[in-house]
Amino acid sequence: MTSLNQDIKYKLSRLNVLEKLIVVNVVVFVVGLIFSPLLSWLELPSEFSKFIFKPWTLVTYAFTHYGFWHLAFNMLWLYFVARMFLNLFSPKMALNLYFLGAISGGILYLLFFEFLPKGRLGVSLVGASASVMAILIFLCAYMPNQEVRIFTFNIKLWYIGAAFVGLDVLRLFGENGGGYLAHLGGALLGYIYAKQLIKGKDIGKGFEKFMDGFLSIFKFKKKSPLKTVHKNKSKVGGYTKADFNAFSNQKKIDVILDKISKSGYDSLTAEEKDFLFRAGK
């Protein structure tokens, strides 16, 4: 039994942050199959009068699924965008987008039922779709002309994003209009996040600091001596500018991606971020 637990812990430690979110979604789904009444505490209610007594549901609904195919579709897309996203950006930014996308979608859902005709009150919101849309549309807005392979042909990212947004707009007029509006709330957050990041502003930093402070309450690790890291801004990707400029474009991209994998997106200089952005076009 101990060996099995160690094996599970090892495999979980090898997962990236978005793959760990997939595991959480699957675990919640399985628990819901066994103890279905517990899921009612995770759903986002459509009535604001109920939401104020369950404020945590603005986040927890994004980990809650009742149908297998609903879960499978969302997790497959999350896995797809995770591989692309984490090759370029930090795990913390991925978490920012997942949670802020859920919050943005949830708020739009609540507003929909608060200010529009309430014929569908009593229907709760569940699913990770708003969070997945936030990450997908972020990628589409940040590097719209990047091509991805779908089966046997290549397609630009912005085509994929436009198709998803278009379908959700059309489905607003169906039975689950509020749910699809939540998708669009996540998409809007992802689009704004990407456009602001292109300008050099990470709008998720405030949320990231809040979460770091919140999680620090539950940490009791010994403080380690502070270390000061000095960035050498005269270098690009750890190489002199002369050496870096001698590389091929693909080699330059590989060097910068390697730096991101080791130190995170925030460790890049403005010149490195600018080169990566131009390479994605």
pLDDT per position as a tens digit, 112-170? 887 765 555 568 899 999 999 999 999 999 999 988 888 788 899 999 999 999 999 99
More confident residue, 68 or 215: 68
Average pLDDT of the chain to the nearest whole number: 84
pLDDT of amino acid 272: 78
Task: Give the global pTM.
Answer: 0.74
Lowest mean pLDDT among 17-21, 38-42, 102-106, 218-222: 218-222
A 10 A CB-CB count for 82 gives: 24
Lowest mean pLDDT among 58-72, 91-105, 246-260: 246-260
As to burial, measured by CB atoms within 10 angstroms (0-12 exposed, 13-18 middle, 19+ buried), residue 162 is middle
Tokens 């090892």 locate to: 10
pLDDT of amino acid 83: 85
